Amino acid sequence: MTASIPSATTSFPAPPTDSKQKVGDFLRQLQDSICQGLEQLDSQQTFHEDSWERPEGGGGRSRVMRDGSVFEQGGVNFSEVWGTQLPPSILKQRPEAAGHGFYATGTSMVLHPRNPYVPTVHLNYRYFEAGSVWWFGGGIDLTPYYPFVEDVVHFHQTLKEACDRHHPEYYPTFKLWCDEYFYLKHRQETRGVGGIFFDYQDGQGDLYRGPDPEGLAAQHSQQVGTPPQRSWEDLFGFVQSCGNAFLPAYVPIAQKRQNTEYGERERNFQLYRRGRYVEFNLVYDRGTIFGLQTNGRTESILMSLPPLVRWEYGYEPKPNTPESELYTTFLKPQDWLSGAVQP
């Protein structure tokens, strides 16, 4: 591992000279391996690719699968863009990056399965450089309609193992950040059962850089102390582990649930709950807002939206049904690995 040399002008650990190449190559290969794994799982459909260029610099490869046996729609995007100035939404968070050209690359994915017993899943890993500033961000989260505790535990356990290989504080901190980020304030619901989420990981200071309205992360970091400075290579290795954890975290769940029988009731509930996905992505999601603000490719950005969605005024699940259990147990932050939530 290359030693991290703090830059002369800032306190950011210096990235290697070929940092963009390295991350770009990894994220491109991540898109390939994910698509391959999902085609194997679906067995009926394959991904179709559109390559595109961004007039202001850069481009990407959008891949979409439709009407598969498992996936009603799935999109996996890779993009690599550059320009003279980061958009306002990001500069507000990273004012040090102002006045510098930027490079941003990312792989993102959203899968909308047909069977309501198979959860929707989202992944996004990304990297930014602007002047001497750089950071990694991303995460993965699961959105079931008819959830099983054992599936949620498997998903979180797989992510925890990937995190623990790099730092014992990654999983608890980024799990908490995920619960906080994928939260629909206007619904007072989490988007699903969470996963991990992180942003602005530049090797310095606190892991957590979210708004933390509840003060949970601050409390937590008082208990465990501040983690040591991490090099660019440390963080890149961590992001690689996270990306590679997707297939083992998700595929076994989809395999187990894809043939579960369902009827109109389950399908209607799935379409209704997909509305929350749209609400989150259009109202809150940082990646969507970044894409639309930087004149990104709209069709690729909005590929995350479900193929068919229902809204119903005043809907509430009947008490003591699987639908109400989703709300009362699963759409609240839970410590899934403590064994406290019983099937």
Among 225, 314, 339, 343, the residue binding its own copies under the rule CB under 8 A is: 314
**The one among 187, 220, 267, 286 contacting its own copies by CB under 8 A:** 187
Pick the stretch among 200-208, 251-259, 311-319, 326-334 that binds its own copies (CB under 8 A): 311-319
Q: How is 260-274 classified by DSSP, letter by letter?
A: ----HHHHHHHHHHH
Give the residue, chosen from 165, 311, 328, 332, that forms a contact with its own copies under the rule CB under 8 A. 311
Q: 228: which residues sit within 8 A by CB, 6+ positions away?
A: none
Residues 247, 251, 305, 337: which binds its own copies (CB under 8 A)? 305
Q: Does 312 bind its own copies (CB under 8 A)?
A: yes
List, in order, residues 6 or more apart from 168 with CB less than 8 Å away. none
Q: In whole angstroms, what is the distance from residue 291 CA to residue 305 CA?
A: 14
Cα 38 to the chain's mean position, in Å?
A: 17
Instruction: Indicate whether 6 belongs to the interface with its own copies (CB under 8 A).
Output: no
- Judged by CB under 8 A, does residue 247 bind its own copies? no
| Interaction mask 64-83, its own copies, x per CB under 8 A | x-x------x-x--------
Which residues are part of the catalytic machinery?
122
Q: Measured from the CB atom, is 196 or 271 closer to its own copies?
A: 271
Q: DSSP secondary-structure letter at 295?
A: T
Phi, psi of 252 (to 5 degrees): -60, -35
Orientation of helix 19-42 relative to helix 232-244, angle to 10°: 10
CA distance 303 to 31: 15
Q: Does 313 bind its own copies (CB under 8 A)?
A: yes
* Residue 89 found at the interface with its own copies (CB under 8 A): no
Question: Of 186, 225, 228, 263, which one interacts with its own copies (CB under 8 A)?
Answer: 186
Is residue 39 a contact residue for its own copies (CB under 8 A)? no
State both tokens at 26. 């990894």
Residue 197's contacts (CB-CB under 8 Å, 6 or more residues apart) are 138, 139, 141, 174, 177, 178, 181, 182
CB 123 within 8 A of CB 108: yes
Map the footprint of its own copies across residues 268-297, applying CB under 8 A.
271, 275, 278-279, 282-283, 292
Minimum gap (Å) between residue 111 Cβ and its own copies: 13
Interaction site with its own copies (CB under 8 A): 50, 62, 64, 66, 73, 75, 185-187, 271, 275, 278-279, 282-283, 292, 298-299, 301-303, 305-314
